[in-house]
Amino acid sequence: MNSQNPKIVVVVGPTSSGKSDLAVFLAQKFDGEVISADSRQVYKGLDIGTGKVTTEEMGGIKHHMLSVAPPETIFTASEYCDMAKTCVEDILARGKLPIICGGTGFYIRAFVDGLILPDVPPNPELRESLAPFSTSALYEKLLDLDPDFASIVDKQNPHRLIRAIEIATKLGHVPLLQKNSHYDPCLIGISTDLYTLRERIHARLLARLDVGMIDEAQTLQDAGLSFERMESLGLEYRYLARLLEGKLTREEMLTQLENEIFHYAKRQLTWFKRDGRIHWFEKNDTVAIEETVRTHLSPSEP
């Protein structure tokens, strides 16, 4: 990494691991601002279901890349990188520390390392032929074409699955092209055992239900967001859509959703563990985390 590149901090980890709290802690310690890296928190109105930080949880720290796109649109990784770069440059220009925080591994790798998907043009005939397929059938097809990319994609998102199949059909697999990175990142990962993670997921899900997650989904639907689009948004909104459509009882929704969130968290860990640059810590090991960040931010030796 070019030591002349501006220094940033990146906080990663699975859902419900405590990333947001740590990012706020570091922002308070090092005069920083937080840039969210979550592929669903970019959408307006998806607040409780995605677990967006509340004003109180922000602790007076400015947060970016939350609620920047209407939920009926498709927000791409490329759009994320463009907007996040603008945020980072603005934060740096004001003499503050950019802290990227999130669990969408592809967004983070795309931004930090300049990764991009190849510019394969849309294939209308292929898309039409794949449209009737279930998400499980699409995932199996992608698994045959490119098992590595299949391991990181949201296997319940038909739009992303079809795009990946489109690229893999054209090129044989889904290569991640790398451009030059413009930043010098310190990557901090929150490590936790699976039992503790499962408990946190359960508690967090119940808490979100208590503050109106189902009502939020109903409000989105009443405002015109289709059940089909809610399904494609994944995780919470997929199962909330099925609840509102009468396809699941509340108890079935809760059980199935918790299982799906846990499996998603394990996939997140698998993705992040592949990156040898990440410094892993327990959530509460703030002294060691602070020291690691401080060392990274110290002026390099000439």
Q: How far apart are CA 106 and CA 153, in angstroms?
A: 9
192 and 281 both lie in a single domain: yes
Q: What confidence score (pLDDT) does residue 264 get?
A: 92
Q: What confidence score (pLDDT) does residue 176 get?
A: 75
Q: What confidence score (pLDDT) does residue 287 get?
A: 98
Q: What confidence score (pLDDT) does residue 77 get?
A: 82
Give the number of domains in the chain.
2
Does residue 154 lie in a domain region?
A: yes
**CATH code at position 16:** 3.40.50.300
105 and 82 both lie in a single domain: yes
28 and 110 both lie in a single domain: yes
- For residue 32, give its domain range: 7-115+182-211+276-297
Does residue 94 lie in a domain region?
A: yes
Alpha helix locations (H) across the chain? 19-30, 77-93, 105-113, 124-130, 135-145, 147-150, 158-171, 194-210, 213-222, 227-233, 235-244, 250-273, 286-297
44 and 96 both lie in a single domain: yes
Question: Mean pLDDT score of the chain, rounded to an integer?
Answer: 92
Alpha helix locations (H) across 146-224? 147-150, 158-171, 194-210, 213-222
Residues of the chain with pLDDT under 50: 1, 301-302
Q: Are 181 and 113 in contact (CB under 8 A)?
A: yes
Q: How far apart are CA 171 and CA 242, in angstroms?
A: 36
